[in-house]
Amino acid sequence: MLPITPLLPSILDAARLGPVVVSAPTGSGKSTCVPSTLTALGRVLVIEPRRVACRALAVRVAELRGCPSGTDVGWIVRDERRVSDDASITFVTPGVALRIVQSGDIEAYGAIVLDEFHERAFDTDLLLCLLQERRAQSGVQPSALVVMSATIQAERLAEHLGGVHIGGEGRTFPIAVRWHPGDATLPSKRGLDERLAAALESCAADPGDVLVFLPGKAEIARAAQALAGVGGGRWEIATLHGGMTVRDQGDVLRPRAQGVAGASRRRRVVLTTNVAETSLTIPGIGVVIDSGLVRGMVYRAGRGYLSLLPIAQDSAEQRAGRAGRLGPGVCIRLWSPASPLADVTIPEIHRGSLVSLTLSALACSPRGMDLPWLDRPRSFAVAAAMAELTALGCVKDGVITEAGVRLFSLPLDVGLARVLVEGAHAPGLAEPTLLLVAALSVDRPIFRRPDPVVSAGLHDLRAGGCDAVALIEAVRAGDAYRDHLDAKALDEARAAAARFRKLGFGDPRWAGSVPRRPLAELLFRVWPGCAHVRRDQKKHRFTWAAGGTEMELDEESAVPAADTEALIVLDSRAVASQQRPGSGLLITAAMPVPIAWLAAAGFGEKRASKPELCDGELRVTISQVYAGKVLATREGPPTGKAARVAICDLALAGRIMKSQGLRAALEERYKLAMLAAQVAGSNPLLPLPEWLLARLTELGVESGDDLALLRAEDLLPAMPAPAIVEELERRFPRILDTGEAKYEIEYQVAERTAIFHQVGGIRKLPPLPTHLPRLPGFRLFWEQKGRVVAIVGRG
Residues 640 and 533 in one domain: no
Predicted confidence at residue 795, as pLDDT, reads 62
Q: 187 in a domain, yes or no?
A: yes
Residues 473 and 587 in one domain: yes
Indicate the residue among 103, 138, 167 that finishes a domain.
167
Could you give the CA distance from residue 662 to residue 517 in angstroms, rounded to a whole number?
50
Please classify residue 373 by burial: count the beta carbons closer than 10 Å to its beta carbon, then call 0-12 exposed, 13-18 middle and 19+ buried.
Answer: middle
Predicted confidence at residue 308, as pLDDT, reads 83
pTM: 0.75
Indicate the residue among 301, 323, 346 that finishes a domain.
346
Q: 409 in a domain, yes or no?
A: no
Could you give the CA distance from residue 498 to residue 491 in angstroms, rounded to a whole number?
11
Question: Looking at the DSSP assignment, which residues form a beta bridge with residue 307?
Answer: 296, 574
Domain holding 18: CATH number?
Answer: 3.40.50.300
Q: 529 in a domain, yes or no?
A: yes
Q: Are 649 and 663 in contact (CB under 8 A)?
A: no
- Range of the structural domain that residue 146 is part of: 5-167
Residues 272 and 155 in one domain: no
Residues 551 and 697 in one domain: no
Q: 400 in a domain, yes or no?
A: no
- List the chain residues with pLDDT less than 70: 138-140, 151-152, 170-171, 232, 246, 257-265, 278-279, 298-305, 450-459, 537-539, 576-583, 793-795
761 torsion bin: left (phi>0), alpha (psi -120 to 50), beta (else):
left
Predicted confidence at residue 305, as pLDDT, reads 67
Predicted confidence at residue 513, as pLDDT, reads 93
Return the closest-CA partner of residue 123 out of 142, 153, 156, 100.
Answer: 100
Residues 593 and 609 in one domain: no
Q: What is the pLDDT of residues 97-145, one digit of tens each?
A: 999 999 989 999 999 999 989 888 889 999 999 999 988 885 667 899 9
Residues 695 and 739 in one domain: no
Q: 109 in a domain, yes or no?
A: yes
Give the number of other CB atoms < 10 A from CB of residue 75. Answer: 30
Indicate the residue among 721, 746, 768 that finishes a domain.
721
Q: 682 in a domain, yes or no?
A: yes
- Measured CA angle at 184 (ends 178, 189), to 5 deg: 105
Q: 728 in a domain, yes or no?
A: no
Residues 558 and 519 in one domain: yes
Q: Are 193 and 464 in contact (CB under 8 A)?
A: no
Sheet with 629-636: list strands edge to edge.
605-614, 617-626, 629-636
Predicted confidence at residue 261, as pLDDT, reads 40
Predicted confidence at residue 777, as pLDDT, reads 85
Residues 420 and 325 in one domain: no
Q: Where are the beta strands (DSSP E) in 656-771?
A: 735-737, 741-748, 753-761
The total number of structural domains that make up the chain: 5
C-alpha to C-alpha distances, 336 to 179, 199, 202, 473, 669, nearest whole angstrom: 6, 13, 17, 44, 70
Residues 60 and 198 in one domain: no
Residues 276 and 217 in one domain: yes
Could you give the CA distance from residue 781 to residue 795 in angstroms, rounded to a whole number?
10
Predicted confidence at residue 475, as pLDDT, reads 96
| DSSP per position, 456-509 | TTS--TTTTS-HHHHHHHHHHH--TTTTTB-HHHHHHHHHHHHHHHHTT---TT
Predicted confidence at residue 301, as pLDDT, reads 53
Residues 553 and 617 in one domain: no
Residues 121 and 186 in one domain: no
Q: Is 771 helix (H, G, I), strand (E, B) or coil?
A: helix
Q: 123 in a domain, yes or no?
A: yes
